[in-house]
A = this chain, B = another copy of it.
């Protein structure tokens, strides 16, 4: 066995300090110059080692302030209840806002509404021709002032015609799902797709995430009782701040809600 290269030894040593708690979340790492002395390495080698930990999502660098051990406040989303009318009352309003405030945190959002043409994926899901007109409701959600997710929902034009507030460039206070339900358009079935990947530079900027933090991509299609697709929502969630749960079956409530170490 050849020995591990020096930059890996540096990464392993610092990673060990983090996992054993010698460097707790939020604490400051030794400076590059200190590590140069400790390991007798050139600066480039030390930086290569620290770079490993950055791409593992363990530390973040800040110009002029040194490196810091990452710390997260995870927010849990219950996807099997979320937007499910059976589990929300009309007075609860927007489901995201509701979920957040219920655990004692604050939420805010930025909304943008456009009329555009359906992308190929959206058209397939919505069972309309590619390029058909759709309303796109684009929203960025914040938990405690931190960007948490970006959401883009497309509604088919026939639905917007019948329910024009979908195209309002302002909040639909009670939530669009509830708005539609109150007008007789109920979403009773959902098809969800989940995947993960590293963010594009644009996504990283909008969610304010650095290198080493992946995102969750959630594509939800909502259906009427007649199995007609009513909308398609793409949500991009910060991986370091998100946990998602599903309950399958008839159990009334999920008994466990504790945080788990990552």
Is A251 on the interface with B (CB-CB < 8 A)? Answer: yes
Is A93 on the interface with B (CB-CB < 8 A)? Answer: no
Is A141 on the interface with B (CB-CB < 8 A)? Answer: no
**Which chain A residues (179-205) contact chain B, with CB distance < 8 Å?**
188-200
Is A215 on the interface with B (CB-CB < 8 A)? Answer: yes
* Contact indicator A124/B251 (Cβ below 8 Å): no
Is A146 on the interface with B (CB-CB < 8 A)? Answer: no
- Taken together as a complex, chains A and B put the C-alpha atoms of A72 and B89 apart, in Å, by 43
B contact residues around A216 at 8 Å (CB): 194, 196
* Contact indicator B188/A121 (Cβ below 8 Å): no
* Contact indicator A195/B262 (Cβ below 8 Å): yes
- Taken together as a complex, chains A and B put the C-alpha atoms of A192 and B245 apart, in Å, by 5
* Contact indicator A194/B194 (Cβ below 8 Å): yes
Is A91 on the interface with B (CB-CB < 8 A)? Answer: no
B contact residues around A80 at 8 Å (CB): 246, 248
A239-B189 contact, Cβ under 8 Å, with A55-B212, A246-B80: no
> When the two chains form the complex, which single residue of B56, B124, B199 contacts A198, counting CB atoms closer than 8 Å?
B56
* Contact indicator A198/B214 (Cβ below 8 Å): yes
* Contact indicator A249/B189 (Cβ below 8 Å): yes
A223-B194 contact, Cβ under 8 Å, with A55-B211, A124-B258, A260-B121: no
* Contact indicator A189/B55 (Cβ below 8 Å): no
A190-B244 contact, Cβ under 8 Å, with A198-B55, A262-B195: no
* Contact indicator B79/A246 (Cβ below 8 Å): yes
Closest CB-CB distance, A47 to chain B, in whole Å?
10
Is A247 on the interface with B (CB-CB < 8 A)? Answer: yes
Q: Using a CB–CB distance below 8 Å, which chain A residues touch chain B?
A: 44, 51, 55-57, 74, 79-80, 84, 121, 124-125, 188-200, 211-216, 219, 221, 223, 227, 239-240, 242-251, 254-256, 258, 260-262
Across the A-B interface, the 6 shortest Cβ-Cβ residue pairs: A189-B249, A214-B214, A196-B239, A196-B196, A189-B251, A190-B248
Other contacts beyond A197-B262, A219-B260, A227-B255: 8, CB < 8 A: A56-B198, A56-B199, A56-B200, A57-B198, A121-B260, A188-B249, A193-B243, A196-B214
